[in-house]
Amino acid sequence: VSTSTIAAAIAVILAIGLVVTVGVASLLSGAFHFLFARPSLVFLLPKNRETGFAFGLKWNSAREPAKFDKVKLRLFNPFGNPTQVEVSREFPAQGSSFGTEVEMGEAMTKFWQSQGFDRALVQIEISSLRDGLTQQFEMRGAKFKEKFHAASITVDQFQSKNKIEKTKPLYNTVERSFIADPLPQTNKVLKLATNPVFADSFAAPAAGAAKAQGDADNNFAVSKVWIDPGCIVCDACEAIYPQVFEVQSDTCVIRPDAPLTNGLLIQDAAEACPVEVIKFTKAS
């Protein structure tokens, strides 16, 4: 047998050994987690023993990341009355081991007063609505009652014992100040007529006024204005200069008292006429 064959055989054996080792380690890790690192539920002493339910939940949040925000108590009571009771409430989401007390409301009274409670099955579900993860615990009613009444530490004591920070309130009071903070410095400037940066923007109206003055200087009077046949009664001329043009049912006419001093406006109306039937002569 050659040396290379022996080396290859050793390599294969080592590779198989490595795979087997990793597999066994993985199995042992899973078994360890199943046996010793499962989520645990602790019954805590509620402030309201009638309708409150206080509990602590510990789990490996690194392995099972979730934010738990709902607790549901179910009573399966096939030999009692009522045969089933369910009460659930939401609470502020918790992303790692926590303790909390939840006010379950009047339904909790019905839960406790069920006939045959001790023999019934109680299911406690703590779930994350957002992450779709549920931790479930089951026990007989008698056991549930025993744990509930045996609870001796409060939520606060549980939190401090397990070095858990207190739950932050759902809403924080906003700090308000009625004195405005100074505006941040920017290169932006207000667009005002008095601001020299925008002098050109506000020069346009002034230019328009100058143009109007120029137009006034160039205006002229007309000696005669009339309408040739062919008016299509579109109203354009009357819209421009109603003191001169009057559109009737079948044609446009010139008003008897029409002012003839604003030749520019009459010219505008003539240019707007789609069939060019408005005629005029300038006064000499």
Quick one: which segment of 25-33, 83-91, 150-158, 274-282 binds ligand SF4 (CB under 6 A)?
274-282
Among 13, 142, 199, 275, binds ligand SF4 (CB under 6 A): 275
Buried residues in 3-40 as b, exposed as e (16+ CB within 10 A): eeeeeeeeeeeeeeeeeeeeeeeeeeeeeeeeeeeebe
Among 153, 258, 260, 277, binds ligand SF4 (CB under 6 A): 277
Which phi and psi (to 5°) does residue 249 adopt?
-65, -30
* Beta carbon nearer to ligand SF4, 149 or 279: 279
Q: Cα separation of 245 and 259, whole Å?
A: 10
Distances (CA, A) of 145 to 43, 124, 142, 207, 234: 10, 13, 5, 92, 94
Q: Cα separation of 155 and 98, whole Å?
A: 9
Quick one: which segment of 190-198, 207-215, 258-266, 268-276 binds ligand SF4 (CB under 6 A)?
268-276
Nearest by Cα to 139 from 66, 36, 55: 55
Could you tell me the smallest distance in angstroms from the CB atom of residue 220 to ligand SF4? Answer: 20
* Beta carbon nearer to ligand SF4, 73 or 236: 236
Q: Cα separation of 255 and 87, whole Å?
A: 89
* Beta carbon nearer to ligand SF4, 109 or 248: 248
Could you tell me the smallest distance in angstroms from the CB atom of residue 252 to ligand SF4? Answer: 4
Tell me, by CB under 6 A, how many residues bind ligand SF4.
Answer: 16
Could you tell me the smallest distance in angstroms from the CB atom of residue 230 to ligand SF4? Answer: 7
* Beta carbon nearer to ligand SF4, 118 or 246: 246
**Residue type at position 248:** Q
* Beta carbon nearer to ligand SF4, 151 or 247: 247
Q: Cα separation of 109 and 91, whole Å?
A: 20
Among 85, 104, 108, 273, binds ligand SF4 (CB under 6 A): 273
- H/E run at residue 70: strand 68-76
**Residue type at position 37:** A
Could you tell me the smallest distance in angstroms from the CB atom of residue 242 to ligand SF4? Answer: 11
Cβ pair 103, 89 in contact under 8 A: yes
**Residue type at position 46:** P
Site string for ligand SF4, 214-253 (x = CB under 6 A): -------------x---xxxxxxx-------x-x----x-
Residues that bind ligand SF4 (CB under 6 A): 227, 231-237, 245, 247, 252, 273-275, 277-278
